[in-house]
Structure 1
Amino acid sequence: MRALLFFLLLVIPANAEPRARCRELGIAPGDYPPGRHNAITDVAGVTVGHSTLIEGDSIRTGATAIVPHQGDVFRRKPPAAIAVGNGFGKLVGSTQVDELGQLETPILLTNTLNVWEAAATLVDRTLAAPGNESVRSVNPVVGETNDGWLNDIRTRPLTQKHFRAALDDAYGGPVEEGAVGAGVGTTTMGFKGGVGTSSRVLPNEAGGFTLGVLVQTNYGGRLTIGGAVIDPPRTQANTGGPPVEYGSCMIVVATDAPLSARQLKRVARRALVGMARTGANFSHGSGDYVIAFSTAETNRIPYEGDAVTRAVVVIDEARLTPLFEAAADATQEAIYNALLQAKTVRGVNGHTAEALTPDAVRRAISPPPNG
């Protein structure tokens, strides 16, 4: 299925400028190199899937699934943590993650008013899995941003089939970015937002670990790249354009580094540093969340076990700083990729969110000519 690519015909103008990831424009936050695909899927075992729904002139929404590993997530739970930049949102399952420090389902991202259908899909899938016949409690994790400026969100158009499609579509390798899945209807700092991703690989002396980030951008502020502020265009199509003052962002951080839930929370907080660098304002009405998890097999938490104690290996606390840097840098780059890969989208009530163009970025970050 791979994200129902037919929708591209509806959102890309015929004369659209070719899209670019930020590294193609010479923008590479931080010192650590990216992984092979510069994506969250560079963390071994992590997969990503999208389901996109575009109907008529008013439905612009979808879902994105992040699967932490290829086993049974419920029976082999990855350690996890959540950090909150601003809590005006609906992150289903967050309190149990905070309490127990673990994930027990994949993560689904979607729009604000469809989180309950997404949660039900994760519960149904977990209960139906072999070996879970006696399970009576499941903690699904679903994040959201409000895509109601481009999408007729009040119709709650997504059903369980759309969320199942995102989960079934999850794959490794390159990740589709921009106006796809949970990013179809989002806007960011006055531009078209979307889904973006990036990764970092630490040097051997820092453990050689990989850290990847995926974002769903829908927040306010003034876009800042390379120290330059880039304001959205004020063309006739964009007069009264998408809001620049408020919105939300979901950030998912994955790493193969063996970390405890407490250490993952520390890493998660640094992802918010990367978001801040892009010009985010963390407004009153924003729901800005980071979900971080470790894929280290030795640290997975069994659903059932007879032992009274459990041995785990974690990174020495004083060695966490490279992971902090990687989380901030990869988040910053993932957000830029989300914007640069997004296409101009027209949605409900004739609202249009114009894409950030590579030329606009080049003009902003290029030094003025001499003289």
Structure 2
Amino acid sequence: MKKRARDLGINFFGDPGKNNAITDVEGVEVGYSTIIKGEPDNFKGRGSNFARTGVTAILPRGKQKSVVYAGRHDLNGNGELTGTHWMDDSGFIHGPIMITNTNSVGIVRDTVTKWMVENDYYQHLVFMGEEIDECGYFYPVVGETWDGLLNDINGFHVKEEHVYEALNNAKAGPVAEGNVGGGTGMVCHQFKGGTGTASRVLPKEFGGYTVGALVQANHGIRMWFEVNGIPMGQEIEGADPVCNTFAPKPGTGSIIVVLATDAPVNPTQLSKMCKRVPIGIGKLGSGYENGSGDIFVAFSTANENAYTNNVSTAEVLGDYMMDAIYRAVADSVEEAILNALCAAETMEGANHNKFYAMPHDEVVRILKKYRGE
């Protein structure tokens, strides 16, 4: 079983849910398609039978059709998240949230639309006493990070079947981390990065709500990497990346963060939750890089009937109650990134570029050194 950040003795604030994952928010499901093809010796350039990539699917209410309150925020916009104009105007997301690599946003967006049509994601509304279907257009939400150092990104290896696999395999419960789904070929703080998740359950006096985060971590500079205030990136010995081709300067990557909660919050509050994501990223020493697309989206599974063509009776939490939720966001994002780093495994990719897993023994040694143990 893969170790997670807590297993290494890293300290965190707050109480996680049962699985310490975004799926601790009831109803949320996560699915992957992981595409690993070919050996580095056989990579002959663009279009080779070589891939280190994939697709991640987050379904807010599982495979049932759903519309959820949503909000978003960009710390740095050097990236893509589709469907944002409708999200900003309406405050809703219709259907799944997908994450993949930069060059596969189009096919993922088109395929999830087909999946939604095939699965009757039309919204059945009542008009003048009769049930009707809307006309069936969708604005799917698809985010991306760039995996071109390890993956043959210009080979366009993500296909329709991979999108269907991620969607159809989505499930609740424990969530795989590291080199999976859209995070397969990603790099974080110049170690092997990828997919990570975490959650927090609020104290009863703050409603007992759950906040969960899932990250696709492909960002950060090793020199600035900190853990519990310790300059971990400077202290770790070895595990230096190998780049045999031109590479963008360190920190030129991206991070997509998806937040989920069962708290009855409105789109404005969800956007404000996203604005607290950089606190979690910053605690680990990132968030400063101009070339990184740091893009965040949040949704609430509460108020199932908020989307209506009549009068909504949505319940909304008072702003006075939001402080603990904002703290839970930052804490779960920090831990999700570290879980991605802990779970990721060393990967050799295109042109024999190689990124090493963050060495667990070094992390433990350094923690003990600074704690005087």
Using structure 1 for the length normalisation, give the TM-score. 0.88
Alignment of 1:34-53 (within 5 A): 34-53=16-35
Instruction: Provide the C-alpha distance between the structure 2 equivalents of 1:289 and 1:79, rounded to a whole number of angstroms.
Output: 18
Are 1:229 and 1:364, in contact at CA under 8 Å, matched by a contact in 2? no
Amino acid at match of 1:246: T
Amino acid at match of 1:126: M
Matched with 1:111 is 101
Instruction: Provide the C-alpha distance between the structure 1 equivalents of 2:344 and 2:240, rounded to a whole number of angstroms.
Output: 17
Q: 1:71 offset after TM fit, Å?
A: 5.7
Are 2:178 and 2:184, in contact at CA under 8 Å, matched by a contact in 1? yes
Q: Which moved more, 1:316-325 or 1:119-128?
A: 119-128
Correspondent of 1:25 among 1, 5, 8: 8
Instruction: Provide the C-alpha distance between the structure 1 equivalents of 2:368 and 2:325, rounded to a whole number of angstroms.
Output: 30
Instruction: Provide the C-alpha distance between the structure 2 equivalents of 1:130 and 1:274, rounded to a whole number of angstroms.
Output: 37
Q: 1:234 offset after TM fit, Å?
A: 7.4
Instruction: Provide the C-alpha distance between the structure 2 equivalents of 1:131 and 1:53, rounded to a whole number of angstroms.
Output: 27
Q: 1:112 offset after TM fit, Å?
A: 0.2
Indicate yes or no: 2:252 matched with 1:260: no
Instruction: Provide the C-alpha distance between the structure 2 equivalents of 1:285 and 1:357, rounded to a whole number of angstroms.
Output: 26
Decide whether aligned partners of structure 1 residues 143 and 65 sit closer, same or farther in structure 2, where only a CA change above 3 A counts.
Answer: same
Instruction: Provide the C-alpha distance between the structure 2 equivalents of 1:370 and 1:24, rounded to a whole number of angstroms.
Output: 19
Instruction: Provide the C-alpha distance between the structure 1 equivalents of 2:168 and 2:113, rounded to a whole number of angstroms.
Output: 15
Instruction: Provide the C-alpha distance between the structure 2 equivalents of 1:106 and 1:234, rounded to a whole number of angstroms.
Output: 41
Indicate yes or no: 2:161 matched with 1:155: no
Q: Which moved more, 1:273-282 or 1:202-211?
A: 273-282
Are 1:145 and 1:249, in contact at CA under 8 Å, matched by a contact in 2? yes
Q: 1:369 offset after TM fit, Å?
A: 8.7
Decide whether aligned partners of structure 1 residues 351 and 299 sit closer, same or farther in structure 2, where only a CA change above 3 A counts.
Answer: same
Are 2:11 and 2:228, in contact at CA under 8 Å, matched by a contact in 1? no
Matched with 2:229 is 227
Q: 1:300 offset after TM fit, Å?
A: 3.5
Q: 1:281 offset after TM fit, Å?
A: 3.6
Are 1:127 and 1:135, in contact at CA under 8 Å, matched by a contact in 2? no
Instruction: Provide the C-alpha distance between the structure 1 equivalents of 2:262 and 2:87, rounded to a whole number of angstroms.
Output: 19
Amino acid at match of 2:315: V
Alignment of 1:55-134 (within 5 A): 55-57=37-39, 58-70=50-62, 72-73=64-65, 76-130=66-120, 132=122
Instruction: Provide the C-alpha distance between the structure 2 equivalents of 1:370 and 1:84, rounded to a whole number of angstroms.
Output: 39
Matched with 2:350 is 348
Amino acid at match of 1:169: N
Q: 1:231 offset after TM fit, Å?
A: 2.6
SS at match of 1:367: helix
Q: 1:329 offset after TM fit, Å?
A: 0.1
Amino acid at match of 1:253: L
Are 1:214 and 1:251, in contact at CA under 8 Å, matched by a contact in 2? yes
Matched with 1:292 is 298
Q: Which moved more, 1:109-118 or 1:283-292?
A: 283-292
Are 1:282 and 1:288, in contact at CA under 8 Å, matched by a contact in 2? no
How well do the aligned residues superpose, as a CA RMSD in angstroms?
A: 2.1
SS at match of 1:276: helix
SS at match of 1:363: helix
Q: 1:235 offset after TM fit, Å?
A: 5.2
Matched with 2:140 is 140
Decide whether aligned partners of structure 1 residues 177 and 71 sit closer, same or farther in structure 2, where only a CA change above 3 A counts.
Answer: closer
Instruction: Provide the C-alpha distance between the structure 1 equivalents of 2:361 and 2:109, rounded to a whole number of angstroms.
Output: 40
Q: Which moved more, 1:320-329 or 1:355-364?
A: 355-364
Are 1:218 and 1:249, in contact at CA under 8 Å, matched by a contact in 2? yes
Q: 1:299 offset after TM fit, Å?
A: 5.4
Deviations 1:214-234 (A, max 9, x none): 000001232210111223877
Indicate yes or no: 2:360 matched with 1:358: yes
Matched with 1:238 is 241
Instruction: Provide the C-alpha distance between the structure 1 equivalents of 2:243 and 2:351, rounded to a whole number of angstroms.
Output: 12
Decide whether aligned partners of structure 1 residues 256 and 367 sit closer, same or farther in structure 2, where only a CA change above 3 A counts.
Answer: same
Instruction: Provide the C-alpha distance between the structure 2 equivalents of 1:370 and 1:35, rounded to a whole number of angstroms.
Output: 31
Matched with 2:332 is 330
Alignment of 1:273-284 (within 5 A): 273-284=279-290
Using structure 2 for the length normalisation, give the TM-score. 0.88
Decide whether aligned partners of structure 1 residues 209 and 369 sit closer, same or farther in structure 2, where only a CA change above 3 A counts.
Answer: closer
Instruction: Provide the C-alpha distance between the structure 2 equivalents of 1:369 and 1:39, rounded to a whole number of angstroms.
Output: 28
Instruction: Provide the C-alpha distance between the structure 2 equivalents of 1:354 and 1:212, rounded to a whole number of angstroms.
Output: 27
Matched with 1:269 is 275
Are 1:177 and 1:338, in contact at CA under 8 Å, matched by a contact in 2? yes
Unaligned runs of 5+ in 1: 1-17
SS at match of 2:111: helix
Instruction: Provide the C-alpha distance between the structure 1 equivalents of 2:7 and 2:18, rounded to a whole number of angstroms.
Output: 15
Unaligned runs of 5+ in 2: 40-49, 123-132
Decide whether aligned partners of structure 1 residues 318 and 118 sit closer, same or farther in structure 2, where only a CA change above 3 A counts.
Answer: same
SS at match of 2:331: helix
Q: Which moved more, 1:36-45 or 1:359-368?
A: 359-368
Decide whether aligned partners of structure 1 residues 153 and 207 sit closer, same or farther in structure 2, where only a CA change above 3 A counts.
Answer: same
Are 1:92 and 1:143, in contact at CA under 8 Å, matched by a contact in 2? yes
